[in-house]
Amino acid sequence: TKDQLIMGIETSCDETAIAIVKNGREILANVVASQIESHKRFGGVVPEIASRHHVEQITLVLEEALAQANVDVKDLDAIAVTEGPGLVGALLIGVNAAKALAFANGIPLIGVHHIAGHIYANRLVTEMNFPLLSLVVSGGHTELVYMKEHGHFEVIGETRDDAAGEAYDKVARTLHLPYPGGPHIDRLAHEGKATIDLPRAWLEDGSYDFSFSGLKSAVINVVHNAQQRGEEIVPEELAASFQESVIDVLVTKTQRAVKEYGVKQVLLAGGVAANKGLREKLSTDFADSDVEIVIPPLSLCTDNAAMIAAAGSILYEKGQRADLTLNGNPGLEI
């Protein structure tokens, strides 16, 4: 049988990314043009700048992906593109590029949910073993997703305010660390002790939802109070205390869901999956259990298009097709 070749296109936020994946599992090309440098001085992603960069980059990224994979557009079985959620102006660049390519070459088009993509990054590392649970933690999302089979997503918990990565970025800003702040807080946290008492939002009994805005405000208060008293805070201690609180809630709720749903695997996904403290705690806490913890390499945890192609591969097999009315949908539900 012929190999299946899927192209993935991802432009939902600040990475222009195109990848080509063979048979849903093997990466032939994975090109990511990051815009972080352009957004750094604003302390976050500026939507208009993001859109303009996508327009400037997408043709170059496409040519590089095709060259890397040594594939002709005509050989592709489908083009999978992130249709949402994300920044609408950014999404539109990828969606329109995908539509143009699909139309001009007579290739099927598939719309992919960005979070489904993050979860399917795991299929590029290992076989997915159902039922499973995915902890999706990124700059825009904090979700516990239960999957009983391919293409079936049940969100059992989500953030009610800030996403985990967003909280990291805001706390980093309070400590005058550069954007994106997650990696800096992570590094500092490993250099200090968690000496400061910070809240943990467990929410109602049995809830798998998350909330990080109270924790974020508590950190900001600690910094302001110290400033008013003319005292120094130790950034390493604050970072360690903040990180301990975030990880405690994420891992405890994941453990509880693992038991309740009787899953075989826990898949980590999203940019915050790069967090060393989170990786360590998940690995040690589940070391003695039968549950397999899967943590993709860093390059597949942050936004990329190989994950979109991997999710697209399953949707392609399930017969899902989009037509040329496909649009960017910033609030798309999984």
Binding site for ligand KG4 (CB under 6 A): 13, 138-140, 165, 168-169, 180-183, 186, 270-272, 274-275, 302-303
User: Measured on CA atoms in the order 162, 163, 168, 170, is the torsion positive or negative?
Assistant: negative
The CA radius of gyration of the chain, in Å to the nearest whole number, is: 20
Q: Check binding of 30 to Zn ion (CB under 5 A).
A: no
Residue 140 known to bind ligand: yes
Residue 45 Cβ, how far from Zn ion at the closest point, in Å?
11
Q: Which of 169, 303, 314, 332 binds Zn ion (CB under 5 A)?
A: 303
Comparison of 265 and 302: residue with beta carbon closer to ligand KG4: 302
Compute how many other C-beta atoms are within 10 angstroms of the C-beta atom of residue 161.
Answer: 16
| Nearest residue relative to ligand KG4 (C-beta) | 271
Which C-beta is closer to ligand KG4: that of 131 or that of 192?
192
Contact string (CB under 5 A) for Zn ion, positions 83-122, x = contact: ----------------------------------------
C-alpha to C-alpha distances, 315 to 104, 165, 205, 319, nearest whole angstrom: 22, 28, 36, 6
- Residue 241 — φ and ψ, nearest 5°? -70, -40
Crossing angle of the two packed helices 164-174 and 182-189, in degrees rounded to 10: 70
Q: Nearer to ligand KG4 by C-beta: 83 or 303?
A: 303
Task: Find out whether 53 is annotated in a ligand binding site.
Answer: no
Residue window 124-163: x/- pattern of binding to Zn ion, with contact defined by CB under 5 A: --------------x-------------------------
**102 or 172: whose CB is closer to ligand KG4?**
172
* Angle formed at CA 320 by CA 140 and CA 121, multiple of 5 degrees: 40
Residue ranges of the annotated binding site are 114, 118, 136-140, 169, 182, 186, 275, 303
Residues of the shown chain interacting with Zn ion in the complex, contacts defined by CB under 5 A: 138, 303
